[in-house]
Structures are given as structure tokens and as C-alpha cells.
């Protein structure tokens, strides 16, 4: 975004500074490994990217669960068509705000998947891993709605799909109930205890 601005204004120093900072942050992310945690397999990351990056923005998280067992190639083709229509719709929008939205969503998506230690099942259908995909989903839907408002034909098609998804049940998956309201009563008390959290996490209270 800064390079586009620099190209228009001729002021290249801010763009160079931001680029250097982004490069340093990328290197830090790559080198900050977590040896005690297993990283999800590449095929799981690819499936999560397709399902939750290309399909979920248009049908919602609940309907997504029914697609997890479908052939990966079929899902990839569907996601590619949806994203191609979205990019085609984005052409009609102002360049800088559109690129900013896609950049913000893409950074969280790629960075989250690159550093995640979440379980494979959580990435594909889980509630907790939604944090990696929400910015991208928001960016895609903003582009679709903005382009549809300009009567861009391809965006209108996706807007209808999103509208049907919203009407049918477009909301986050309910988190699993581990009885937090009962188990957490020991926190702050004199006796040690372990309070379970969804997806094999737990809080250990040592007592006082």
C-alpha cells in the first residue's frame, strides 16, 4: 500500500521503512519456532485455506462442516471460482482501500496458519481457530457488498449467495461446553485444581 502511495507522491522513504519492518517481522515469525508443539500437516493447512479462506466467506461456518469430507479437488475448484468472482468484482472498487482490506485479511490468514499449533480438527471446523480467518472473511464480504452496490454483475451473484447463507444460519459455531461455570469456581481458592478448556487446553490453579 505504501509503495502505491509512494508511486503517486514520489515520497519513497516511508515505503522503504515499512518494507524493512515487514521483512524483519517476517524473519522473526519464521525463526520463532515452537519445538515443543506439533505443527499441523501441510495437507491440513491446504484444506483449511481452501475451506475457510475460499468457501466459508460465502456460506458460513456451520454449513462448512458438511463439506469437510468432500474431495479436496472439488472444494478447491469451488473456492477458486468464488475467489475469482470476488477478485473480478474488486476491480470495480477503489484500488487502495480494496488492497488494504485484502492485505490485512491475508496477513492474518497466512501468518496464523504459518505459526499455528492448533489441532487439525480445530483448523478445519473448530471454533477457536476462527480468529485466523475472520479478517479475511470480512474483507471478502466487504468487497462483494461494495461491488454489488455498484451493480457489478459478478458481485451480485456472490451477494445473493451470501444473503441466502445469512438467512439460513450464518453465525459462528457454538463452542463446546466443558462445564466452565462449574469447574472454574475453584480458581482463586485455597486448593489446587485444573479447569478444562475446549480442545485439550486447561488452566492449572496452584492454590494459595
- Residue-level pLDDT at 185: 86
Angle between helices 95-115 and 134-149 in degrees, nearest 10: 160
Q: Within a domain: residue 15?
A: no
Q: Are residues 198 and 120 in the same domain?
A: no
What is the pLDDT, as a whole number, of residue 175?
65
One domain, residues 150 and 115: yes
Number of domains in the chain: 2
Asked if 52 and 120 count as a contact pair (C-beta separation under 8 A), the reply is no
- Residue 37 is predicted with a pLDDT of 60
Contact in structure between 128 and 199 (CB atoms under 8 Å): yes
- Per DSSP, the three-state class of 32 is coil
* pLDDT of amino acid 60: 72
Rounded-to-integer distance, Cα 30 and Cα 86, Å: 30
Vertex 139: Cα angle to 135 and 145 (nearest 5):
140
- Establish if 11 belongs to a structural domain: no
Whether residue 118 is contained in a domain is answered as: yes
Asked if residue 143 belongs to a domain, the reply is yes
Q: Is the dihedral of CA 146, 148, 149, 150 positive or negative?
A: positive
Helix (H) or strand (E) holding 3: helix 2-9
pLDDT at 126: 61
Q: What is the domain extent for residue 164?
A: 38-169
25 within domain boundaries: no
SS3 205: strand
pTM: 0.58
Q: Are 106 and 207 within one domain?
A: no
Query: Grid coordinates in use for 125?
Result: 471446523
DSSP state of 66: G
Q: Do residues 54 and 132 both lie within one domain? A: yes
CA distances from 91 to 147, 152, 158 (A): 9, 10, 15
Which tens digits make up the pLDDT trace of 62-101?
A: 677 777 777 777 778 877 887 787 777 777 778 777 887 8
Mark whether 59 and 131 lie in a shared domain.
yes
**Are 130 and 151 part of one and the same domain?**
yes
> Residue 73: inside a domain, yes or no?
yes
Please give the Cα distance from 80 to 86 (Å, whole number): 10
Pairing of strands 201-205, 193-197: antiparallel
Indicate if 116 and 204 belong to the same structural domain.
no
Q: Do 119 and 62 share a domain, yes or no?
A: yes
Sequence-ordered alpha helix ranges (H) in 51-204:
56-59, 61-64, 72-90, 95-115, 120-125, 134-149, 153-169, 180-183
* Same-domain check for residues 188 and 124: no
Q: Rounded CA gap, 171 and 174, in Å?
A: 9
Collect the ranges in the chain with pLDDT lower than 50. Answer: none
pLDDT on residue 14: 78
Please indicate, yes or no, if residue 31 is contained in any of the structural domains: no
Residues 85, 142 share a domain = yes
62 and 100 fall within a common domain: yes
pLDDT at residue 82 in the model: 78
- If asked whether residues 52 and 111 sit together in one domain, one would say yes
Residue 20 lies in a domain: no
Amino acid at each position: 500500500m505504501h509503495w502505491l502511495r509512494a508511486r503517486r507522491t514520489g515520497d519513497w522513504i516511508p515505503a522503504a521503512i515499512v518494507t524493512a519492518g515487514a521483512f524483519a517481522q517476517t524473519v522473526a515469525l519464521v525463526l520463532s519456532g515452537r519445538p515443543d508443539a506439533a505443527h499441523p500437516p501441510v495437507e491440513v493447512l491446504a484444506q483449511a485455506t481452501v475451506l475457510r479462506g475460499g468457501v466459508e466467506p460465502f456460506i458460513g461456518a456451520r454449513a462448512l462442516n458438511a463439506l469437510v469430507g468432500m474431495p479436496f479437488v472439488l472444494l478447491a475448484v469451488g473456492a477458486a471460482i468464488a475467489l475469482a468472482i470476488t477478485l473480478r468484482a474488486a476491480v470495480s472498487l477503489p484500488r487502495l482501500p480494496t488492497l488494504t482490506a485484502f492485505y490485512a485479511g491475508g496477513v492474518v490468514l497466512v501468518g496464523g496458519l504459518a505459526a499455528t499449533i492448533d489441532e487439525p480438527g480445530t483448523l478445519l471446523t473448530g471454533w477457536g481457530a476462527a480468529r485466523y480467518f475472520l479478517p479475511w472473511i470480512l474483507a471478502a464480504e466487504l468487497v462483494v457488498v461494495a461491488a454489488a452496490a455498484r451493480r457489478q454483475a459478478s458481485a451480485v451473484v456472490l451477494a445473493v449467495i451470501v444473503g441466502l447463507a445469512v438467512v439460513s444460519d450464518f453465525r459462528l459455531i457454538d463452542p463446546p461446553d466443558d462445564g466452565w461455570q462449574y469447574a472454574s469456581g475453584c480458581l482463586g481458592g485455597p486448593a489446587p485444581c485444573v479447569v478444562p478448556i475446549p480442545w485439550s487446553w486447561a488452566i492449572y490453579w496452584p492454590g494459595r
